[in-house]
Amino acid sequence: MTTPPALPPKRWLLPPPTAGHRLPADLPSPAVQLLLSRNIGDAKALERFLNPTGLPHSAHLLAGVADALPRLAAAVRNGETVAVFGDFDVDGISGTAILTETLTRLGARVIPYLPHPVAEGHGMTPEAVGRLVAQGATLILTVDCGISNAVEVAHAQRSGADVIITDHHTPPAESPDAIAIVNPRMPGNVYPFPELCGAGIAYKLATALLDYLGEPPDLSLQELAALGTIADLVPLRDENRYLVQQGLATLSHTRRPGLRALLRRVNLDGRSLRAEDVGFRIAPRLNASGRMEHPETSLDLLLTHDSQEADRLASQLEQYNTQRRDLTAHASEIAVSRILDADQVPAIIITHDDAYTPGINGLIAGRLAETFNRPAVALARADADHLVASARSPGDFNLIAAISQCHDLLVRYGGHQAAAGFTVHNDLFAQVSQRLTDIAKAHLGLFEPEPTLQIHAEGTLDELLSPELSRLCAQLEPFGKDNPTPVYLTRRARVLNAGYVGAQGQHLKLHVSSGGRTVDALRWNHPGNWPGYDTVDLVFQLAEDSYRGERRTYLRIEDLRPAV
Protein backbone atom coordinates (compact mmCIF):
# COMPACT_ATOMS: atom_id res chain seq x y z
CA MET A 1 0.00 0.00 0.00
CA THR A 2 1.27 3.48 -0.86
CA THR A 3 2.04 5.61 2.19
CA PRO A 4 -0.19 8.69 2.10
CA PRO A 5 1.37 12.16 2.31
CA ALA A 6 2.11 13.43 5.81
CA LEU A 7 -0.70 15.61 7.13
CA PRO A 8 -0.05 18.81 9.09
CA PRO A 9 0.38 18.14 12.82
CA LYS A 10 -2.48 19.12 15.09
CA ARG A 11 -2.11 21.40 18.08
CA TRP A 12 -3.55 19.74 21.15
CA LEU A 13 -6.08 21.84 23.09
CA LEU A 14 -5.84 20.58 26.66
CA PRO A 15 -8.78 20.12 29.04
CA PRO A 16 -9.91 23.06 31.18
CA PRO A 17 -8.39 23.46 34.68
CA THR A 18 -10.46 22.00 37.49
CA ALA A 19 -9.50 24.42 40.26
CA GLY A 20 -12.50 26.10 41.85
CA HIS A 21 -15.15 23.96 40.18
CA ARG A 22 -18.55 23.59 41.86
CA LEU A 23 -19.35 20.07 40.70
CA PRO A 24 -19.89 17.22 43.19
CA ALA A 25 -16.73 16.65 45.23
CA ASP A 26 -16.74 12.88 44.73
CA LEU A 27 -16.26 13.14 40.97
CA PRO A 28 -12.79 12.05 39.81
CA SER A 29 -10.64 14.65 38.04
CA PRO A 30 -11.18 13.30 34.48
CA ALA A 31 -14.97 13.42 35.04
CA VAL A 32 -14.75 17.03 36.20
CA GLN A 33 -12.66 17.96 33.16
CA LEU A 34 -15.14 16.21 30.88
CA LEU A 35 -18.08 18.15 32.30
CA LEU A 36 -16.27 21.49 32.31
CA SER A 37 -15.34 20.96 28.65
CA ARG A 38 -19.06 21.12 27.78
CA ASN A 39 -19.76 24.11 30.03
CA ILE A 40 -21.32 22.08 32.84
CA GLY A 41 -19.78 23.78 35.86
CA ASP A 42 -21.97 22.99 38.84
CA ALA A 43 -24.41 20.40 40.19
CA LYS A 44 -27.48 22.34 39.04
CA ALA A 45 -26.19 22.60 35.46
CA LEU A 46 -25.44 18.87 35.48
CA GLU A 47 -28.98 18.10 36.67
CA ARG A 48 -30.50 20.37 33.98
CA PHE A 49 -28.46 18.60 31.31
CA LEU A 50 -29.21 15.06 32.46
CA ASN A 51 -32.86 15.61 33.41
CA PRO A 52 -34.27 18.56 31.46
CA THR A 53 -37.85 19.63 32.04
CA GLY A 54 -40.51 20.73 29.56
CA LEU A 55 -39.65 18.27 26.79
CA PRO A 56 -40.91 17.63 24.22
CA HIS A 57 -42.05 21.12 23.30
CA SER A 58 -45.58 21.47 21.97
CA ALA A 59 -45.62 21.06 18.20
CA HIS A 60 -48.42 23.63 18.01
CA LEU A 61 -45.92 26.36 18.99
CA LEU A 62 -43.87 25.81 15.85
CA ALA A 63 -44.11 28.61 13.30
CA GLY A 64 -46.48 27.71 10.45
CA VAL A 65 -48.10 24.67 12.08
CA ALA A 66 -51.37 26.49 12.78
CA ASP A 67 -51.64 27.43 9.08
CA ALA A 68 -50.59 23.99 7.83
CA LEU A 69 -52.97 21.80 9.85
CA PRO A 70 -56.33 22.87 8.32
CA ARG A 71 -55.02 22.40 4.78
CA LEU A 72 -53.49 18.99 5.58
CA ALA A 73 -56.66 17.89 7.35
CA ALA A 74 -58.74 18.92 4.33
CA ALA A 75 -56.46 16.90 2.06
CA VAL A 76 -56.90 13.86 4.27
CA ARG A 77 -60.66 14.18 4.56
CA ASN A 78 -61.10 14.77 0.83
CA GLY A 79 -58.77 11.96 -0.22
CA GLU A 80 -56.51 14.34 -2.13
CA THR A 81 -53.19 13.39 -3.70
CA VAL A 82 -50.36 14.88 -1.62
CA ALA A 83 -46.81 14.99 -2.97
CA VAL A 84 -44.18 14.85 -0.22
CA PHE A 85 -41.14 16.55 -1.76
CA GLY A 86 -37.98 15.78 0.20
CA ASP A 87 -34.26 16.36 -0.02
CA PHE A 88 -31.86 13.57 -0.97
CA ASP A 89 -29.78 13.30 2.22
CA VAL A 90 -30.67 11.21 5.28
CA ASP A 91 -32.43 14.16 6.90
CA GLY A 92 -34.67 14.68 3.88
CA ILE A 93 -35.19 10.96 3.26
CA SER A 94 -36.19 10.17 6.83
CA GLY A 95 -38.42 13.25 7.03
CA THR A 96 -40.09 12.23 3.77
CA ALA A 97 -40.72 8.77 5.22
CA ILE A 98 -42.27 10.31 8.36
CA LEU A 99 -44.82 12.39 6.47
CA THR A 100 -45.47 9.73 3.82
CA GLU A 101 -46.28 7.15 6.49
CA THR A 102 -48.43 9.55 8.50
CA LEU A 103 -50.49 10.83 5.56
CA THR A 104 -50.93 7.32 4.17
CA ARG A 105 -52.13 6.09 7.56
CA LEU A 106 -54.66 8.93 7.62
CA GLY A 107 -56.05 8.01 4.19
CA ALA A 108 -54.44 10.44 1.78
CA ARG A 109 -52.97 9.28 -1.53
CA VAL A 110 -49.28 10.10 -1.21
CA ILE A 111 -46.58 10.52 -3.84
CA PRO A 112 -43.15 10.65 -2.16
CA TYR A 113 -40.62 12.48 -4.33
CA LEU A 114 -36.87 12.87 -3.95
CA PRO A 115 -34.91 14.85 -6.57
CA HIS A 116 -31.96 13.42 -8.43
CA PRO A 117 -28.84 14.92 -6.80
CA VAL A 118 -27.15 15.81 -10.11
CA ALA A 119 -29.93 16.32 -12.62
CA GLU A 120 -32.10 18.34 -10.23
CA GLY A 121 -30.03 19.29 -7.19
CA HIS A 122 -31.39 20.53 -3.87
CA GLY A 123 -34.92 21.87 -3.66
CA MET A 124 -37.88 22.13 -5.99
CA THR A 125 -37.68 22.59 -9.76
CA PRO A 126 -40.43 23.65 -12.17
CA GLU A 127 -40.04 20.36 -14.03
CA ALA A 128 -40.54 18.30 -10.88
CA VAL A 129 -43.55 20.39 -9.89
CA GLY A 130 -45.04 19.83 -13.33
CA ARG A 131 -44.62 16.06 -13.08
CA LEU A 132 -46.26 15.95 -9.65
CA VAL A 133 -49.23 18.08 -10.75
CA ALA A 134 -49.61 15.84 -13.81
CA GLN A 135 -49.92 12.88 -11.43
CA GLY A 136 -52.80 14.58 -9.66
CA ALA A 137 -51.09 16.31 -6.75
CA THR A 138 -53.20 19.14 -5.36
CA LEU A 139 -50.91 19.72 -2.39
CA ILE A 140 -47.11 19.65 -2.31
CA LEU A 141 -45.56 19.25 1.15
CA THR A 142 -41.80 19.85 1.25
CA VAL A 143 -39.32 18.31 3.66
CA ASP A 144 -35.92 19.86 4.41
CA CYS A 145 -36.24 22.17 1.42
CA GLY A 146 -38.42 24.79 -0.21
CA ILE A 147 -37.58 27.90 1.78
CA SER A 148 -35.52 29.25 -1.15
CA ASN A 149 -37.97 28.13 -3.87
CA ALA A 150 -40.24 31.16 -4.29
CA VAL A 151 -40.34 30.79 -8.08
CA GLU A 152 -41.19 27.08 -7.92
CA VAL A 153 -43.86 27.61 -5.26
CA ALA A 154 -45.53 30.26 -7.41
CA HIS A 155 -45.35 27.89 -10.40
CA ALA A 156 -47.02 25.12 -8.37
CA GLN A 157 -49.86 27.38 -7.29
CA ARG A 158 -50.44 28.61 -10.84
CA SER A 159 -50.59 24.94 -11.86
CA GLY A 160 -53.30 24.16 -9.31
CA ALA A 161 -51.30 22.77 -6.37
CA ASP A 162 -51.03 24.37 -2.94
CA VAL A 163 -47.65 24.24 -1.19
CA ILE A 164 -46.74 23.76 2.47
CA ILE A 165 -43.06 24.18 3.22
CA THR A 166 -41.26 22.43 6.06
CA ASP A 167 -37.62 23.44 6.23
CA HIS A 168 -34.94 24.29 8.78
CA HIS A 169 -32.64 26.34 6.59
CA THR A 170 -32.22 30.08 6.96
CA PRO A 171 -35.08 31.94 5.22
CA PRO A 172 -34.14 34.39 2.46
CA ALA A 173 -35.11 38.06 2.60
CA GLU A 174 -38.32 37.25 0.72
CA SER A 175 -39.97 33.96 1.62
CA PRO A 176 -42.13 31.93 -0.80
CA ASP A 177 -45.84 32.69 -0.87
CA ALA A 178 -46.88 29.25 0.42
CA ILE A 179 -50.00 28.18 2.31
CA ALA A 180 -47.75 27.67 5.33
CA ILE A 181 -44.04 27.71 6.14
CA VAL A 182 -43.15 25.44 9.05
CA ASN A 183 -39.68 26.59 10.00
CA PRO A 184 -38.43 27.57 13.49
CA ARG A 185 -36.12 30.15 11.92
CA MET A 186 -38.96 32.24 10.51
CA PRO A 187 -39.33 35.81 11.85
CA GLY A 188 -41.71 35.92 14.79
CA ASN A 189 -41.25 32.27 15.70
CA VAL A 190 -41.93 31.53 19.38
CA TYR A 191 -40.85 27.88 19.38
CA PRO A 192 -38.38 27.42 22.27
CA PHE A 193 -35.74 25.54 20.22
CA PRO A 194 -34.79 26.65 16.69
CA GLU A 195 -32.21 23.91 15.97
CA LEU A 196 -34.50 21.11 14.75
CA CYS A 197 -33.44 19.40 11.52
CA GLY A 198 -35.75 18.69 8.59
CA ALA A 199 -36.79 15.28 9.91
CA GLY A 200 -37.35 16.76 13.36
CA ILE A 201 -39.71 19.36 11.90
CA ALA A 202 -41.48 16.67 9.85
CA TYR A 203 -41.95 14.66 13.05
CA LYS A 204 -43.36 17.64 14.91
CA LEU A 205 -45.80 18.36 12.08
CA ALA A 206 -46.87 14.71 11.92
CA THR A 207 -47.41 14.71 15.69
CA ALA A 208 -49.48 17.90 15.49
CA LEU A 209 -51.57 16.54 12.58
CA LEU A 210 -52.38 13.30 14.39
CA ASP A 211 -53.40 15.28 17.45
CA TYR A 212 -55.47 17.71 15.32
CA LEU A 213 -57.40 14.80 13.81
CA GLY A 214 -57.88 13.02 17.14
CA GLU A 215 -55.53 10.16 16.31
CA PRO A 216 -53.08 8.58 18.79
CA PRO A 217 -49.39 9.48 18.42
CA ASP A 218 -47.06 7.20 16.46
CA LEU A 219 -43.97 6.83 18.63
CA SER A 220 -42.25 4.67 16.00
CA LEU A 221 -41.74 7.85 13.96
CA GLN A 222 -39.18 8.93 16.55
CA GLU A 223 -36.64 6.48 15.17
CA LEU A 224 -36.89 8.15 11.76
CA ALA A 225 -36.54 11.58 13.36
CA ALA A 226 -33.45 10.34 15.21
CA LEU A 227 -31.83 9.17 11.95
CA GLY A 228 -32.16 12.63 10.41
CA THR A 229 -31.15 14.46 13.58
CA ILE A 230 -27.93 12.49 13.99
CA ALA A 231 -27.02 12.47 10.30
CA ASP A 232 -27.60 16.20 9.80
CA LEU A 233 -25.17 17.13 12.60
CA VAL A 234 -27.51 19.55 14.34
CA PRO A 235 -26.73 20.37 17.99
CA LEU A 236 -27.57 17.40 20.24
CA ARG A 237 -29.07 19.41 23.05
CA ASP A 238 -32.55 20.34 24.21
CA GLU A 239 -35.22 18.70 22.04
CA ASN A 240 -32.75 17.20 19.58
CA ARG A 241 -31.14 15.30 22.45
CA TYR A 242 -34.59 14.16 23.56
CA LEU A 243 -35.58 13.01 20.06
CA VAL A 244 -32.36 11.05 19.63
CA GLN A 245 -32.67 9.39 23.04
CA GLN A 246 -36.24 8.32 22.36
CA GLY A 247 -35.54 7.39 18.75
CA LEU A 248 -32.52 5.21 19.51
CA ALA A 249 -34.58 3.29 22.05
CA THR A 250 -37.28 2.49 19.47
CA LEU A 251 -34.75 1.89 16.69
CA SER A 252 -33.11 -0.87 18.72
CA HIS A 253 -36.42 -2.79 18.48
CA THR A 254 -37.72 -1.39 15.19
CA ARG A 255 -40.55 -3.12 13.39
CA ARG A 256 -39.62 -1.61 10.03
CA PRO A 257 -38.35 -4.47 7.83
CA GLY A 258 -35.93 -2.13 6.02
CA LEU A 259 -34.25 -0.89 9.17
CA ARG A 260 -34.12 -4.42 10.58
CA ALA A 261 -32.37 -5.58 7.41
CA LEU A 262 -29.94 -2.68 7.58
CA LEU A 263 -29.16 -3.33 11.24
CA ARG A 264 -28.43 -6.98 10.43
CA ARG A 265 -26.19 -5.87 7.57
CA VAL A 266 -23.99 -3.81 9.93
CA ASN A 267 -24.11 -6.33 12.81
CA LEU A 268 -26.20 -4.11 15.07
CA ASP A 269 -29.35 -6.22 15.19
CA GLY A 270 -30.59 -6.78 18.73
CA ARG A 271 -28.12 -4.35 20.31
CA SER A 272 -28.69 -1.14 22.22
CA LEU A 273 -27.80 1.57 19.76
CA ARG A 274 -25.71 4.70 20.19
CA ALA A 275 -25.63 7.87 18.15
CA GLU A 276 -22.25 6.92 16.69
CA ASP A 277 -23.77 3.66 15.37
CA VAL A 278 -26.14 5.76 13.30
CA GLY A 279 -23.55 8.39 12.38
CA PHE A 280 -20.83 6.01 11.23
CA ARG A 281 -22.64 2.85 10.12
CA ILE A 282 -26.29 3.43 9.31
CA ALA A 283 -26.37 6.99 7.93
CA PRO A 284 -23.50 6.48 5.43
CA ARG A 285 -25.39 3.58 3.87
CA LEU A 286 -28.64 5.55 3.69
CA ASN A 287 -26.74 8.43 2.11
CA ALA A 288 -24.90 6.16 -0.32
CA SER A 289 -27.78 5.67 -2.75
CA GLY A 290 -28.09 9.41 -3.36
CA ARG A 291 -24.33 9.78 -3.66
CA MET A 292 -23.98 7.00 -6.22
CA GLU A 293 -27.35 6.71 -8.02
CA HIS A 294 -30.71 7.89 -6.67
CA PRO A 295 -31.92 8.34 -3.06
CA GLU A 296 -35.18 6.50 -3.72
CA THR A 297 -33.45 3.20 -2.83
CA SER A 298 -33.01 4.44 0.75
CA LEU A 299 -36.55 5.80 0.93
CA ASP A 300 -37.92 2.51 -0.37
CA LEU A 301 -35.95 0.72 2.36
CA LEU A 302 -37.53 2.88 5.08
CA LEU A 303 -41.05 2.47 3.70
CA THR A 304 -41.18 -1.17 2.62
CA HIS A 305 -43.33 -3.70 4.49
CA ASP A 306 -41.77 -6.68 2.70
CA SER A 307 -38.87 -8.47 4.40
CA GLN A 308 -37.43 -9.94 1.19
CA GLU A 309 -37.55 -6.56 -0.50
CA ALA A 310 -35.89 -5.06 2.57
CA ASP A 311 -32.99 -7.53 2.32
CA ARG A 312 -32.56 -6.77 -1.38
CA LEU A 313 -32.52 -3.01 -0.75
CA ALA A 314 -30.09 -3.32 2.16
CA SER A 315 -27.76 -5.34 -0.05
CA GLN A 316 -27.97 -2.67 -2.76
CA LEU A 317 -27.13 0.06 -0.24
CA GLU A 318 -24.10 -1.95 0.89
CA GLN A 319 -22.83 -2.05 -2.69
CA TYR A 320 -23.38 1.68 -3.09
CA ASN A 321 -21.56 2.37 0.16
CA THR A 322 -18.55 0.32 -0.91
CA GLN A 323 -18.37 2.25 -4.19
CA ARG A 324 -18.77 5.53 -2.31
CA ARG A 325 -15.99 4.68 0.11
CA ASP A 326 -13.53 3.79 -2.65
CA LEU A 327 -14.33 6.89 -4.71
CA THR A 328 -14.07 9.16 -1.69
CA ALA A 329 -10.70 7.75 -0.60
CA HIS A 330 -9.21 8.32 -4.07
CA ALA A 331 -10.68 11.80 -4.53
CA SER A 332 -9.78 12.94 -1.02
CA GLU A 333 -6.18 11.86 -1.50
CA ILE A 334 -6.00 14.01 -4.64
CA ALA A 335 -7.54 17.00 -2.86
CA VAL A 336 -5.35 16.75 0.24
CA SER A 337 -2.16 16.24 -1.79
CA ARG A 338 -2.79 19.43 -3.75
CA ILE A 339 -2.94 21.51 -0.60
CA LEU A 340 0.13 19.84 0.89
CA ASP A 341 2.03 20.59 -2.33
CA ALA A 342 1.04 24.26 -2.27
CA ASP A 343 3.11 26.98 -0.61
CA GLN A 344 0.42 27.76 1.96
CA VAL A 345 -3.12 26.85 2.92
CA PRO A 346 -5.54 29.34 1.34
CA ALA A 347 -8.18 31.23 3.29
CA ILE A 348 -10.81 29.01 1.67
CA ILE A 349 -9.95 25.79 -0.14
CA ILE A 350 -11.70 25.56 -3.53
CA THR A 351 -10.98 22.41 -5.51
CA HIS A 352 -12.37 20.47 -8.46
CA ASP A 353 -11.17 17.47 -10.43
CA ASP A 354 -12.51 14.91 -12.88
CA ALA A 355 -12.21 12.32 -10.08
CA TYR A 356 -14.82 14.15 -8.03
CA THR A 357 -18.51 13.40 -8.40
CA PRO A 358 -21.44 15.46 -7.08
CA GLY A 359 -22.35 12.71 -4.63
CA ILE A 360 -19.02 12.80 -2.80
CA ASN A 361 -18.33 16.56 -2.98
CA GLY A 362 -19.51 17.04 0.60
CA LEU A 363 -17.26 14.26 1.89
CA ILE A 364 -14.22 15.74 0.13
CA ALA A 365 -14.98 19.23 1.46
CA GLY A 366 -15.48 17.82 4.96
CA ARG A 367 -12.14 16.02 4.87
CA LEU A 368 -10.34 19.18 3.73
CA ALA A 369 -12.04 21.36 6.35
CA GLU A 370 -11.14 18.93 9.12
CA THR A 371 -7.55 18.41 7.95
CA PHE A 372 -6.60 22.03 7.30
CA ASN A 373 -9.00 23.96 9.56
CA ARG A 374 -10.28 26.07 6.69
CA PRO A 375 -13.63 26.33 4.92
CA ALA A 376 -13.56 24.12 1.86
CA VAL A 377 -15.53 23.87 -1.38
CA ALA A 378 -15.38 20.81 -3.64
CA LEU A 379 -16.89 20.99 -7.13
CA ALA A 380 -17.73 18.34 -9.71
CA ARG A 381 -19.12 18.41 -13.20
CA ALA A 382 -22.93 18.50 -13.21
CA ASP A 383 -23.23 18.66 -17.00
CA ALA A 384 -21.34 20.18 -19.93
CA ASP A 385 -22.14 23.72 -18.78
CA HIS A 386 -22.33 23.61 -14.98
CA LEU A 387 -20.40 22.73 -11.84
CA VAL A 388 -22.11 21.67 -8.63
CA ALA A 389 -20.43 22.42 -5.30
CA SER A 390 -20.60 21.29 -1.69
CA ALA A 391 -18.99 23.39 1.05
CA ARG A 392 -18.07 22.70 4.67
CA SER A 393 -16.78 24.98 7.43
CA PRO A 394 -14.86 23.80 10.51
CA GLY A 395 -15.57 26.81 12.69
CA ASP A 396 -17.41 30.13 12.89
CA PHE A 397 -17.10 31.06 9.22
CA ASN A 398 -20.69 31.34 7.94
CA LEU A 399 -20.85 29.50 4.62
CA ILE A 400 -24.39 30.38 3.64
CA ALA A 401 -23.76 34.06 4.38
CA ALA A 402 -20.67 33.99 2.16
CA ILE A 403 -22.35 32.07 -0.65
CA SER A 404 -25.37 34.37 -0.49
CA GLN A 405 -23.05 37.22 -1.45
CA CYS A 406 -22.49 35.38 -4.75
CA HIS A 407 -26.21 34.94 -5.49
CA ASP A 408 -26.03 37.00 -8.67
CA LEU A 409 -23.51 34.54 -10.12
CA LEU A 410 -25.22 31.28 -9.14
CA VAL A 411 -27.90 29.09 -10.69
CA ARG A 412 -29.07 27.98 -7.23
CA TYR A 413 -27.71 27.72 -3.72
CA GLY A 414 -28.74 26.77 -0.18
CA GLY A 415 -27.61 25.46 3.18
CA HIS A 416 -26.59 26.88 6.53
CA GLN A 417 -23.53 28.07 8.41
CA ALA A 418 -21.50 24.86 8.50
CA ALA A 419 -22.67 23.13 5.30
CA ALA A 420 -23.93 24.56 2.04
CA GLY A 421 -23.93 24.03 -1.72
CA PHE A 422 -24.45 25.77 -5.01
CA THR A 423 -24.55 25.30 -8.78
CA VAL A 424 -22.61 27.64 -11.06
CA HIS A 425 -22.14 28.02 -14.81
CA ASN A 426 -18.64 27.17 -16.01
CA ASP A 427 -18.06 30.71 -17.29
CA LEU A 428 -18.80 32.24 -13.87
CA PHE A 429 -16.84 29.82 -11.71
CA ALA A 430 -13.69 31.98 -11.62
CA GLN A 431 -15.68 34.99 -10.41
CA VAL A 432 -17.39 32.96 -7.70
CA SER A 433 -14.05 31.52 -6.61
CA GLN A 434 -12.46 34.95 -6.35
CA ARG A 435 -15.39 36.45 -4.46
CA LEU A 436 -15.47 33.61 -1.93
CA THR A 437 -11.71 33.91 -1.48
CA ASP A 438 -11.95 37.63 -0.80
CA ILE A 439 -14.72 37.04 1.76
CA ALA A 440 -12.74 34.28 3.49
CA LYS A 441 -9.58 36.41 3.65
CA ALA A 442 -11.53 39.05 5.53
CA HIS A 443 -12.46 36.42 8.13
CA LEU A 444 -9.13 34.62 8.59
CA GLY A 445 -9.16 35.59 12.27
CA LEU A 446 -11.90 33.01 12.85
CA PHE A 447 -9.44 30.16 12.33
CA GLU A 448 -6.49 28.82 14.25
CA PRO A 449 -3.23 28.99 12.26
CA GLU A 450 -3.03 25.18 12.28
CA PRO A 451 -5.44 22.28 12.77
CA THR A 452 -6.37 21.62 16.38
CA LEU A 453 -7.51 18.62 18.41
CA GLN A 454 -9.73 19.29 21.40
CA ILE A 455 -9.06 17.05 24.39
CA HIS A 456 -11.78 16.75 27.04
CA ALA A 457 -10.04 14.87 29.87
CA GLU A 458 -6.59 13.61 30.86
CA GLY A 459 -5.49 10.76 33.10
CA THR A 460 -3.95 7.32 33.31
CA LEU A 461 -5.63 4.49 31.43
CA ASP A 462 -6.86 3.12 34.74
CA GLU A 463 -8.61 6.45 35.45
CA LEU A 464 -9.96 6.95 31.96
CA LEU A 465 -11.34 3.40 31.72
CA SER A 466 -12.80 3.44 35.23
CA PRO A 467 -16.40 2.34 35.91
CA GLU A 468 -17.18 5.79 37.37
CA LEU A 469 -16.22 7.62 34.17
CA SER A 470 -17.97 4.98 32.07
CA ARG A 471 -21.23 5.52 34.00
CA LEU A 472 -20.98 9.30 33.57
CA CYS A 473 -20.43 8.95 29.83
CA ALA A 474 -23.46 6.70 29.55
CA GLN A 475 -25.51 9.45 31.22
CA LEU A 476 -24.09 12.13 28.89
CA GLU A 477 -24.99 10.24 25.72
CA PRO A 478 -26.06 10.63 22.98
CA PHE A 479 -22.93 12.33 21.71
CA GLY A 480 -22.83 14.64 18.71
CA LYS A 481 -22.54 18.32 17.89
CA ASP A 482 -22.31 20.50 21.05
CA ASN A 483 -21.89 17.32 23.13
CA PRO A 484 -18.97 15.59 21.41
CA THR A 485 -17.75 12.08 21.99
CA PRO A 486 -15.10 12.32 24.76
CA VAL A 487 -11.52 12.63 23.58
CA TYR A 488 -8.94 11.59 26.18
CA LEU A 489 -5.21 12.06 26.70
CA THR A 490 -2.96 9.66 28.55
CA ARG A 491 0.75 10.45 28.90
CA ARG A 492 3.77 8.18 28.96
CA ALA A 493 1.92 5.01 28.02
CA ARG A 494 4.35 2.12 27.54
CA VAL A 495 4.24 0.48 24.11
CA LEU A 496 4.40 -3.27 24.71
CA ASN A 497 3.88 -4.26 21.08
CA ALA A 498 3.38 -2.51 17.73
CA GLY A 499 2.43 -3.67 14.24
CA TYR A 500 0.15 -3.19 11.27
CA VAL A 501 -3.08 -5.05 10.61
CA GLY A 502 -5.74 -5.12 7.92
CA ALA A 503 -5.86 -6.66 4.45
CA GLN A 504 -3.25 -4.17 3.21
CA GLY A 505 -1.51 -3.44 6.49
CA GLN A 506 -3.27 -0.09 6.62
CA HIS A 507 -4.10 0.08 10.35
CA LEU A 508 -1.58 0.70 13.15
CA LYS A 509 -2.14 -1.53 16.20
CA LEU A 510 -0.43 -0.95 19.54
CA HIS A 511 -0.59 -2.81 22.84
CA VAL A 512 -0.08 -0.18 25.55
CA SER A 513 0.00 0.04 29.33
CA SER A 514 -0.57 2.92 31.75
CA GLY A 515 -1.63 3.21 35.40
CA GLY A 516 -1.83 -0.54 35.80
CA ARG A 517 -4.14 -1.00 32.80
CA THR A 518 -3.17 -2.72 29.54
CA VAL A 519 -5.25 -2.38 26.38
CA ASP A 520 -5.11 -2.48 22.59
CA ALA A 521 -5.01 0.78 20.62
CA LEU A 522 -5.81 1.14 16.91
CA ARG A 523 -5.15 3.97 14.48
CA TRP A 524 -7.35 3.31 11.48
CA ASN A 525 -6.07 3.96 7.94
CA HIS A 526 -2.60 4.96 9.07
CA PRO A 527 -0.11 2.84 7.09
CA GLY A 528 3.60 3.43 7.39
CA ASN A 529 6.56 2.33 9.47
CA TRP A 530 6.35 2.36 13.26
CA PRO A 531 9.13 4.66 14.57
CA GLY A 532 9.85 2.39 17.54
CA TYR A 533 8.73 4.67 20.39
CA ASP A 534 8.95 3.00 23.82
CA THR A 535 6.52 5.41 25.46
CA VAL A 536 3.90 7.67 23.87
CA ASP A 537 1.38 10.34 24.71
CA LEU A 538 -1.89 9.07 23.25
CA VAL A 539 -5.03 11.02 22.33
CA PHE A 540 -7.94 8.65 21.81
CA GLN A 541 -11.62 7.85 21.98
CA LEU A 542 -12.96 4.70 23.58
CA ALA A 543 -14.47 2.16 21.19
CA GLU A 544 -15.73 -1.40 21.27
CA ASP A 545 -15.37 -4.41 19.03
CA SER A 546 -16.57 -7.98 19.21
CA TYR A 547 -14.33 -11.05 19.23
CA ARG A 548 -15.89 -14.51 19.42
CA GLY A 549 -19.06 -12.99 20.84
CA GLU A 550 -17.23 -11.02 23.55
CA ARG A 551 -17.38 -7.20 23.62
CA ARG A 552 -13.99 -5.59 24.20
CA THR A 553 -12.93 -1.99 24.75
CA TYR A 554 -10.03 -0.60 22.75
CA LEU A 555 -8.51 2.85 22.19
CA ARG A 556 -9.28 4.48 18.83
CA ILE A 557 -6.18 6.63 18.36
CA GLU A 558 -6.77 10.21 17.23
CA ASP A 559 -3.12 11.31 17.53
CA LEU A 560 0.11 10.29 19.24
CA ARG A 561 3.56 11.66 20.01
CA PRO A 562 6.68 10.24 21.58
CA ALA A 563 6.53 10.87 25.32
CA VAL A 564 8.85 13.58 26.59
What is the CATH topology of the domain spanning 11-49+455-562?
A: OB fold (Dihydrolipoamide Acetyltransferase, E2P) (2.40.50)
Does residue 254 or residue 503 have the better pLDDT?
Answer: 254
What pLDDT is stored for residue 449 in this prediction? 73
Band the pLDDT of 471: cuts 50, 70, 90. Answer: very high
Band the pLDDT of 241: cuts 50, 70, 90. Answer: very high
* Rounded (to 5) percent helix, strand, coil in the chain: 40, 20, 35
Q: Mean pLDDT for the chain?
A: 93
- Region 205-223 average pLDDT: 97
How buried is 529 (Cβ within 10 angstroms: 0-12 exposed, 13-18 middle, 19+ buried)?
Answer: exposed
Tens digit of each residue's pLDDT (9 = 90 or more) over 35-64? 999 999 999 999 999 999 999 999 999 999
In the chain, residues under CATH classification 3.90.1640.30 are 59-219
Nearest to 486 by CA among 516, 515, 457: 457
C-alpha span between 249 and 239 (Å, rounded): 15
C-alpha span between 350 and 329 (Å, rounded): 18
> Residue 228 in contact with residue 195, Cβ under 8 Å?
no
What pLDDT is stored for residue 185 in this prediction? 93
Residue 79 has pLDDT above 60, yes or no: yes
> Residue 117 in contact with residue 290, Cβ under 8 Å?
yes
C-alpha span between 475 and 152 (Å, rounded): 46
- 342-446 has which CATH code? 3.10.310.30
- 59-219 has which CATH code? 3.90.1640.30
Q: Considering the chain, what percentage of its residues have pLDDT values greater than 70?
A: 98
Tell me the CA distances in angstroms from 356 to 119, 387, 522, one per residue in order: 16, 11, 30
Band the pLDDT of 396: cuts 50, 70, 90. Answer: confident
- Region 243-260 average pLDDT: 97
In the chain, residues under CATH classification 3.10.310.30 are 342-446
Return the minimum-mean-pLDDT range out of 290-299, 369-378, 448-457. Answer: 448-457
- Region 401-423 average pLDDT: 91
C-alpha span between 371 and 73 (Å, rounded): 49
Q: Is 163 helix (H, G, I), strand (E, B) or coil?
A: strand
- Region 120-147 average pLDDT: 95
Tens digit of each residue's pLDDT (9 = 90 or more) over 285-337? 999 999 999 999 999 999 999 999 999 999 999 999 999 999 999 999 999 99
- Region 198-203 average pLDDT: 98
In the chain, residues under CATH classification 2.40.50.460 are 11-49+455-562
Residue 552 has pLDDT above 90, yes or no: no
What pLDDT is stored for residue 1 in this prediction? 47
